[in-house]
Amino acid sequence: MNVRIKIDGLTYSYSYDENDAVHDVSFEVNEGEFVGLIGPNGSGKSTVLKNIYRALTPDKGAIFLDGENLLKMSHRKTALKQAVVGQENDVPFNFVVEEIVAMGRSPHKKLFDIDTAYDKQVIRHALEHMGMADMAKRNYQSLSGGEKQRVIIARAIAQESSIFLLDEPTNHLDISYQMQIFDLIKRLKVTVLSAIHDLNMASLYCDRIYVLKDGKIVLSGTPEEVFTPENIFNVYGVRCSVEKHPITGKISITFLPEEIIKTHSVVDKPLGGNA
Ligand code: ADP
Ligand code: MG
């Protein structure tokens, strides 16, 4: 299989007197895969992604994109390969939607180059893919959260990069937007590495998952391999039951409040060991 992203022993600390935010993290993302990074708040998901999109520079270890050392690549080449959709996208204000999407074209152009017919076609196509063509002239700030995120993904599409790095791209969005955004990204057939907060979403959309805890990868595998009650208890300290869903065929997780575990004799043996 063709490895697109390879992380080898990544270690990063925000300051000398603190523990490593991520420590000796190694993993790979193959061509066309949708790979999820999961783990509790503060486990290091964003730090890993920021090292890949070069907002941070590793203290130790190396990152390779298509076999090439990231730190030896120009920023333009990095941007041609990978598009980033963050959690809070602080977009410069007072831009209309199509201007923001046009920013995705910048790695393809020199400063002050005007948009070619091809650029315009790519921008229009990206807006159409995200169902935002009607809103091309709207001010970005006037959009709802879900619409804003669709614009940011349209910008990533206009960038024509075949690797997408996503940091909890659907946080703060309601369930229909969450599913719509993951569905639209899935349809692009790009290689995806995404931090995902919601375990059921990760189960529905990911081919493989890496689990971070305290800055280290503690588990990896398919959602079916990773999402067992034992693993979820060990990582999150929460009881759950899991079943293969009859319609999706994917693992579906139901979290069990302590009160219910106590009062329901059906769950007399606490799930997840270590009790
Ligand atoms: P996650 O995305 O999984 O919630 P992060 O990568 O944001 O985790 O954080 C990993 C660790 O690094 C946490 O302990 C967090 O407090 C710390 N951290 C994150 N950003 C900063 C920062 N800008 N300065 C100092 N520490 C940070
Ligand atoms: Mg984060």
CA of residue 41 to ligand 2 center, whole Å: 7
Contact assessment for residue 126 and residue 101, using Cβ atoms and an 8 Å cutoff: yes
Cα(244)–Cα(83) distance, integer angstroms:
33
Ligand 1 atom with the smallest distance to the CA of 15 is: 25
The pLDDT, as a whole number, for residue 262 is: 80
Give the count of beta carbons closer than 10 Å to the beta carbon of residue 171: 15
Residue with CA at minimum distance from ligand 1 atom 21: 14
**Residue 94 parent element (H or E):** none
What is the number of the ligand closest to the CA of 171? 2
Indicate which atom in ligand 1 lies nearest the CA of residue 212: 3
**Ligand 1, atom nearest to 22 Cα:** 10
| Structure confidence at residue 18 (pLDDT) | 82
Which tens digit of pLDDT belongs to each residue from 15-55? 988 899 999 999 999 999 999 999 999 999 999 999 999 99
Task: Determine the pLDDT at residue 172.
Answer: 78
Rounded CA separation 261/133 (Å): 49
At residue 107, the 3 state secondary structure works out as: helix
CA 176 to chain centre: 18
* Distance set, CA 248 to CA 142, 210, 227, 233, 244 (Å): 36, 21, 15, 24, 8
CA angle 130, 116, 164 (to 5 degrees): 40
As averages over each run of 10 residues, the pLDDT of the chain (275 residues) reads 96 91 98 98 97 96 98 95 82 88 93 90 95 95 90 95 94 86 92 96 98 98 97 96 95 92 63 45
Q: Cα(117) to centroid of ligand 2, in Å? A: 38
Position in ligand 1 atom list of the atom nearest CA 48: 6
Distance CA 120, CA 98 (A): 10
Q: On the CB side of 220, how many CA atoms lie within 13 Å of its CA? A: 13
Domains observed in the chain = 3-226 (3.40.50.300), 228-275 (no CATH)
Tokens standing for 136? Answer: 């091309």
Residue 94: its pLDDT value, please? 85
The backbone torsions φ and ψ at residue 216, rounded to the nearest 5 degrees and listed phi first, read -125, 150
User: What is the Cα Rg of the chain in Å?
Assistant: 20
Identify the residue whose tokens are 């979820």: 232
CA of 40 to the centre of ligand 2 (A): 9
The ligand placed nearest to the CA atom of residue 13 is 1
Which of these, 272, 194, 262, 193, lies nearest to 237 by C-alpha position? 272
CB 26 within 8 A of CB 51: no
Q: Closest Cα partner for 203 from 218, 223, 186, 189?
A: 223
| Ligand 1 mutation target, pool 11, 13, 43, most atoms within 8 A of CB | 43
- Ligand 1 pocket at CB < 6 A: 14, 21, 39, 41-47
Backbone angles phi, psi at 169, to 5 degrees: -70, -15
CA distances for 120 relative to 105, 128, 147, angstroms: 9, 12, 21
Q: Which residues contact 122 (CB under 8 A, 6 or more apart)?
A: 105, 158, 160
Report yes or no: 82 and 166 within 8 Å, Cβ to Cβ.
no
